[in-house]
Chain A
Amino acid sequence: MKLSASLHSVAAAAAIWCLGTTTASAWTLEEAAKPYAGTTVDVVFLLRPGYEAAEAMLPEFENATGIKVNIIKHPYENALGEQVRDFVAGGDLDIALIDLVWIGNFAENDWIEPISKFTSNPDLADPELDIDDFFPLVLNAFGGWNDEVYGLPFDNYSGLLFYNECMLKDAGFDGPPETWSDLKDKYGPALTKDGKYAYALQSKRNETQSADSFARVLWPFGGSFLDENFKSNLMSAESQAGLKFRQDLMQYMPEGIVSYDHAEAVNALAQGDIALLTEWSAFYSTLKSPDTSQIVDCLKIAPEPTGPAGRKPALGGFSMAVAKQADDKEQAAAWLFIQWVTSKANAMEYLERGGVPARQSVYQEPGVAEKYDFVPALVESWQDGVPEFRPRFAEWPEITEIVQEWGTKIMLGEVSTEEGAQELGSRMEAVLEKAGYYDGKKPLAQ
């Protein structure tokens, strides 16, 4: 009896093991998607190169699965509002497109599902998902909140230094500036002449002012938005040094830099009006295409310059997460799409079509670093990034509005860096106090 029971147990275990092995080795997207053929998945896309790349790849997914992906396009500035209204109203979106500064908001509002819901389901989880293949910083910052992963990194950026090598050579420089102070003190005066400018810091009063301009000068100088007690750190010597540096650097930037968004800044470099530009990696394809750039042969890329506190480059990008409001079929279909579009297997095609994948493996492929000359700088930048480059908590949408207003006022000289930082800090603290960070209602997580 005992032997028989043991044999039965062994046989059952063997059967389960065999079944498990068979399931794992036999997993295909086509099979996994069969129950969901005909399902439509609604997702917001931005008007940026990474989304055009994914859209071009889409027919392959739709043909293989029978799942229809309905893309709703918005400019970045409308994307958050549109999604918030949809989730509040229990709308149609099945996938949330999440900028890294929205992740706290989406997760705390329970609008998105953790990926564990799907990775634990062998029918839906691709055995080749290999979550560890994502750059850890990117996965954590773009898709993670409070030790839980919600989204997989999809449209991935790091700040890089794009430069016009020809202009630098003409001015007697062999390479780009290593430090921010070199950029200001050496490259600035030498390259600002004859209607051309050394550098542009895109500073339009929207998220660009907060992320690309204000935060960019805080971190390399040792500053930050908040201290360890979540009080404003903007009056610290380091933060002030960064903000004053930006004011000094403006003399080497085109007039009206406070009205420059990404399009204007990228265009200025592409037309040869400026020599250096710190910009997201996502704009590589725009600057490298002869259709949109006149400096294709002169374009070179380096990591952002270092400051007294190190490199601390701008970090930004988007993950995609399954929306809680979707029904079971839509959730499954949404997960299959997210998993597919961010997969290791598709990373090369995504890269070739103009996207920037967050998969480490693709950048180790032979020839990739040579063909895409932003790769070494990008990989280096993703080692030095700061996840809380902009705080990712739910209060960021309110705080960024304050940063945008007062950051621009500082640049315009309407207030000094001290006055601006003081005002900004007290308004920021008022938002955090109301949210309950100072009376222990919320953990100090950013």
Chain B
Amino acid sequence: MSAVSVKRSTLIGFLGPSIFALLAIGIVPLLYAVWTSLHYFNLTKLKNVEFIGIENYATVLTDSVFWQAMGRTFTLLGIALPIQIALGLGIALLLHQPGLSFLKTLTRLSLVLPMATTYAVVGLLGQVMFNIKYGVINQLLGFVGIEPVNWIGDPTNAFALIIFWDIWQWTPFVALVLLAGLTTVPAEIEEAAKLETKRWYTVLRYVQLPFLIPGLTAVLILRTADTLKLFDMVFTLTRGGPGASTELISLMIQRVGFRAFDQGLASAQAIILLIITIILSQLYIRLLYKEVG
């Protein structure tokens, strides 16, 4: 079968706008960030802009504060993501059971709510709900005789709090993606498997899981990228504190770039973060798709 020839003007007409948009909002700013990262570029000292090669990168890579922030970000990812997947899978499996269709529809709708809530609003809600003195959470704990907990002012509790909010907001997303994956399992295969074994785990492992892998890969890539650039919720909830206990990498980049105005250093941090994100995404795709094969 011969390929249909398409006129060049048609190709440009269809692809041009999206290529232009990608260039304007993606590639050009990225190239500018690379250029900035190779310069001493402080917004309040623009008279002193100079090319400094990889000095900003060397500063970032040898800065313990940067790696501590990176460590906190990956700790958040390492704790929140498995919990989101476990809970999301559980919810998806429950919703995949036959019967109670009205309740399931209602549940599916309510699952959208946390995702639809703006990140910054989640942080502000947290400030109010987890306030040590006036927060509703401590009030509820008080009803069962538990002393008020210092949620936001204690470093460990504050970190636990951002993990909690991240799980609250994004478990429904994982659940809905996995539920979509479960609906792609052919009904006859699933029924046959259930006749063969009563163990739900066996059905999950050998029948349903292969169909969940594409969704799971998407979840891993999206949630990893989202967590690495998580900013709004933490900024409005703790602003990275107390101390540096909730200063994730994105907050650190914002602090360096927009509060200390060192755009060169902040750009170098952002480029390194981008490289790490790309490497992780590639790893997910290679490892998981290999398993499917």
Residues of A near any B CB (own CB < 8 A)? 80-81, 84-85, 88, 105, 109, 204-206, 254-260, 273, 394, 397-398, 401, 405, 408-409, 411-412, 414, 435
Knowing A255-B153, A258-B153, A401-B255, say if A205 contacts B44 (CB, 8 Å). no
User: Which 9 pairs show the lowest CB-CB distances between chains A and B?
Assistant: A256-B153, A205-B241, A259-B153, A258-B242, A398-B260, A408-B243, A256-B150, A409-B243, A259-B152
Is A394 a contact partner of B150 (Cβ separation < 8 A)?
A: no
Q: Cβ of A105: which chain B residues have Cβ within 8 Å of it?
A: 44
* Interface size in chain B (residues, C-beta < 8 A): 27
Residues of B within 8 A of A258 (CB): 153, 241-243
B240 close to A205 (CB less than 8 A): yes
**8 Å CB contact of B155 from A254, A412, A435:** A412
Complex-state Cα separation, A340 to B251, whole angstroms? 40
Q: Which residue of B lies closest to A404 (CB)?
A: B241
Q: How far is the CA of A256 from the CA of B255 in the complex (A)?
A: 23
Question: Which residues of A lie under 8 Å from residue B240 when comparing CB positions?
Answer: 205
Which residue of A109, A255, A260 is within 8 Å of B44 (Cβ)?
A109
A-B contact count (CB 8 A): 75
A88 touches B43 (CB 8 A): yes
Chain A residues near B166 (CB-CB < 8 A): none
Which of chain A's residues have a CB closer than 8 A to the CB of B8?
none
B160: min CB distance to chain A, Å: 14
Q: Which residue of A lies closest to B131 (CB)?
A: A264
A203: nearest chain-B partner, CB-CB: B242
Instruction: Output the nearest chain B residue to A271 by Cβ-Cβ distance.
Output: B133
> Which residues of B come within 8 Å of A, CB atoms?
43-46, 65, 132-133, 150, 152-155, 158, 238-244, 255-256, 258-262
* Given known A256-B152, A256-B153, A397-B259, contact A405–B44 (CB-CB < 8 A): no
Contacts of A81 in B (CB 8 A): 258-259, 261
Instruction: Assess whether A401 is in contact with B260, with CB atoms less than 8 Å apart.
Output: yes
Chain A residues positioned under 8 Å from B256 (CB to CB): 401
Complex Cα gap A102–B260 (Å): 12
CB contacts (< 8 Å) of B259 on chain A: these are: 80-81, 397, 401
What are some 10 contacts across the A-B interface (CB < 8 A)?
A80-B259, A84-B43, A84-B261, A255-B153, A256-B132, A260-B153, A394-B45, A397-B44, A414-B243, A435-B45
**Which B residues are CB-close (under 8 A) to A254?**
132-133
Cβ contacts under 8 Å, B262 to chain A: 398
**Who on chain B is nearest to A104 by CB?**
B44
From known contacts A81-B259, A84-B43, infer whether A255 and B241 are also in contact, taking CB-CB under 8 Å: no
Query: Bound state CA distance, A397 and B43, in angstroms?
Result: 11
Set of chain A residues within 8 Å of B153, measured between Cβ atoms: 255-260
A273 to B134, CA, bound (A): 12
Q: For B255, what are the chain A residues with a Cβ–Cβ distance below 8 Å?
A: 401
Give the complex CA separation of A411 and B241 in angstroms: 12
Distance (whole angstroms) from the CB of A395 to the closest CB of chain B: 9
Closest B residue, CB atoms, query A268: B133
Q: Would you give the shortest CB distance from A255 to chain B, in whole angstroms?
A: 5
With the chains together, A256 CA to B256 CA distance in Å?
Answer: 26
Contacts of A273 in B (CB 8 A): 133
A192 to chain B, nearest CB (A): 15
Contact between A408 and B242 (Cβ–Cβ < 8 Å)? Answer: yes
Most buried by A among B46, B153, B239: B153
Asked if residues B243 and A259 are in contact (CB atoms below 8 Å), the reply is no
Residues of B with C-beta under 8 A to A206 = 239
* Inter-subunit contact A255/B243 (CB<8 Å): no
Establish whether residues A405 and B261, one from each chain, have CB atoms under 8 Å apart when the complex forms. Answer: no
Q: Is the CB of A259 within 8 A of B244?
A: no
**Is the CB–CB distance between A205 and B152 below 8 Å?**
no
State the CA gap A256–B134 with chains docked (Å).
13
CB distance from B36 to the nearest CB of A (A): 13
CB distance from A434 to the nearest CB of B (A): 8
Select from chain B the residue with minimum beta-carbon distance to A435. B45
| Most A C-beta atoms less than 10 A away, residue of B132, B158, B242, B244 | B242
Bound complex: CA of A54 vs CA of B112, how far in Å?
44
Q: How far is the CA of A435 from the CA of B44 in the complex (A)?
A: 12
Contact of A255 among B43, B132, B258 (CB under 8 A): B132
B244 with A409: CB separation less than 8 A = yes
* A255 cross-chain contacts in B, Cβ below 8 A: 132, 150, 153
Can you name 20 extra interface pairs (CB under 8 A) apart from A206-B239, A412-B242? A85-B43, A88-B43, A88-B46, A109-B44, A109-B45, A204-B241, A205-B242, A256-B152, A256-B154, A257-B153, A258-B241, A259-B158, A394-B44, A394-B45, A397-B261, A398-B260, A398-B262, A401-B259, A405-B243, A412-B243
